[in-house]
Structure 1
Amino acid sequence: MTPKASILVIDDHPITITGYKTCLEDSGLSLHIDGACNCDEAINKLNNTKSNFFKMVFLDIKLPSSKTSKITGGEDLGLFIRKQFPETKIIVHTSLRDEQRITNIIKSLSPEGFLIKSDLSIKILSDSVITVLEGNKYYSDSVRNLSKQSTSYDDFFVDSLDMQIIYFLSKGELTKNLPRLVPLSMATIERRKKRLKTVFGIPYGSDKQLLDVAREKGYIL
C-alpha cells in the first residue's frame, strides 16, 4: 500500500486550514493534511517530522513574524524551508494581487505552485497538488497574468535583507539601530532604503511613506 503524502497547510486563518483539509481529503487523493497557523508552529512541525517529511507545504505569505523575529513573515519562512527542507515542494497561496509583489515572490522562492486565494476551487486545489506531486509546476491563470504584467519590475528584487530593513522599521526601530539587527553597514542600509523608495515610486519619501507603500504591496503586515 502506497503511504499517504504528507502536506502542511500554513495559514493564519484556521478556517482556511480546515477547508483545505476537507477538500483535499475528500478528493480521493492519498494525502495526510496537517496545519500550522504561524511561523513558529510551522517550523516546529517541519523540524519534528524529518523521518516522515512533508512532501509539500501550502505557504501563505501574509504571516506574522516568528516570536524571535528571525523569520519576518511568509516569504522568509519559504526561504527557511528551501534551505532546511530542500525536498519539500512549496505551493504559495495568497490573497495578494500586486504585480510587483507576485513577481518578487516568484524570483525569491521559485515555488512549484502559486495560487491566488480568490480564484480557488476544489478542482484548482486538487489539480495543483497532483501536478506538483508529479514533479511539474502549477501556476494559476491569475498568477501567470499578473506576472506577465510586471515586466517593468524585471530588474528589481526585494531580497531578504531588504525585507529585514522594512520589517524592523515597521516595528519602530530607528535607522541608526539597524546595523545591530541587519548584517549590513549603515551606508549600505541607507543605499538600500533609497533604492526601495525609488522603485516604490517615492524617491524623496519619508520612512513612513516607504512603510505605507510596502504595507500596501504586501511586503509587511
Structure 2
Amino acid sequence: MPLMNDTIVLAIVDDHPIVIEGLRTLLKEEPQISIAGSFTRGKDFMDFLQHNKVDLVLLDIMLPDTSGMDLCRDIKKMSPDTVVLALSNHTERSIILQILQNGASGYLVKNVSSTELLNCLKEALKGEIAFSKEVKEIITRPAQHEFKKVPTLTKREKQILQLVSQGKTTPMMAQELNVSPLTIETHRRNLLQKFDVKNVAELMMAAVQHKMITGI
C-alpha cells in the first residue's frame, strides 16, 4: 500500500459530472496524487481496473448500473490492495455498515471539506478506517437498541481490537504479537461474542460507541 509521499494513483466513480469535476479540480493541486480516470458506470471502472493499477477509489453509493456496495465488494475481489473510500450523500447507518463490511476503508459525505477529504485519504492509505466528521457523529450515536453493557476485555483482547481497527490482518497480528494465527482467530471470535456482533464492521461501530478504540 503506497504512502502519501509516493505517487497515489486515484480513480473517481460517480455518476454526477459536477462532482467529478469538483474532485478533479481539488485533487489536481496535490502533486502526489495522479488521477487515473473518472467513471460514471461501475462496469466501465471494473474494465479499467482489470488492466490498470489503482491505489485508491472514491466511490459513490448510487450508480446507474450497480450499487456502490456491490461494486466495492467486486473491486476488493479483483484488486485487494485497492483502497475504497465511499463518497455519498446517503447517511443511513445501515448503508455505512454494509459498505464497510464489503471492504471499504471509510465513508465520507459529499459536503466534506477539502482539508477533511485529504486527511481521510491519508488515513485510509495508512490502513486506518477513515470517516468524515458527519459520519463519525452518525456512527457514534447509538440507536436505542444498541445501549448495551460495556464488555470486559482482557489485555490481549484490547490489543487485538486496536490492531483490527488499524486494518491489520490475522497473519500481520500474529507476527506482531508473536503468537499463532489460530490464537488470533480465537481472540477475534471472542471479541465478536463479547460485543454481541456478527462481523468486523459491527465490531468497530460498537467499539467506537463504547470509546474503546482510538484513531477512528
Regarding TM over 0.5, the answer is: yes
Counterpart-to-counterpart distance in 1, 2:117 and 2:130: 10
1:22-171 aligned at under 5 Å gives the runs 22-49=25-52, 53-65=53-65, 72-106=66-100, 108-118=101-111, 120-151=112-143
Deviations 1:172-192 (A, max 9, x none): xxxxxxxxxxxxxxxxxxxxx
Counterpart-to-counterpart distance in 2, 1:136 and 1:97: 20
8 Å contact 2:86–2:108 — kept in the other structure?
Answer: yes
TM-score normalised to structure 2 length: 0.59
SS state at 1:31 partner:
strand
8 Å contact 1:100–1:153 — kept in the other structure?
Answer: no
Counterpart-to-counterpart distance in 1, 2:124 and 2:62: 22
SS state at 2:104 partner:
coil
SS state at 1:97 partner:
coil
TM-score normalised to structure 1 length: 0.58
The residue identity in structure 2 corresponding to 1:111 is: A
8 Å contact 2:76–2:103 — kept in the other structure?
Answer: no
Deviation at 1:17, TM superposition (A): 1.4
Matched residues, percent identical? 25
SS state at 1:91 partner:
strand
Deviation at 1:33, TM superposition (A): 4.1
1:133-212 aligned at under 5 Å gives the runs 133-151=125-143
Deviation at 1:151, TM superposition (A): 4.2
Q: Which residues of structure 2 form unaligned runs of 5+?
A: 147-216
Deviations 1:51-93 (A, max 9, x none): xx1001111111122xxxxxx3211101101111101001010
SS state at 2:47 partner:
helix
Counterpart-to-counterpart distance in 1, 2:55 and 2:133: 24
Q: Which residues of structure 1 form unaligned runs of 5+?
A: 66-71, 155-221
SS state at 2:135 partner:
helix
SS state at 1:136 partner:
coil
8 Å contact 2:58–2:84 — kept in the other structure?
Answer: yes
The residue identity in structure 2 corresponding to 1:54 is: V
Residue 15 (structure 1) aligned with residue 8 (structure 2): no
The residue identity in structure 1 corresponding to 2:48 is: K
In the alignment, what sits opposite 2:154? none
8 Å contact 1:6–1:34 — kept in the other structure?
Answer: no
Deviations 1:31-52 (A, max 9, x none): 3342111111111111121xxx
C-alpha spacing 1:7/1:152, structure 2 compared with 1 (3 Å): farther
C-alpha spacing 1:21/1:33, structure 2 compared with 1 (3 Å): farther
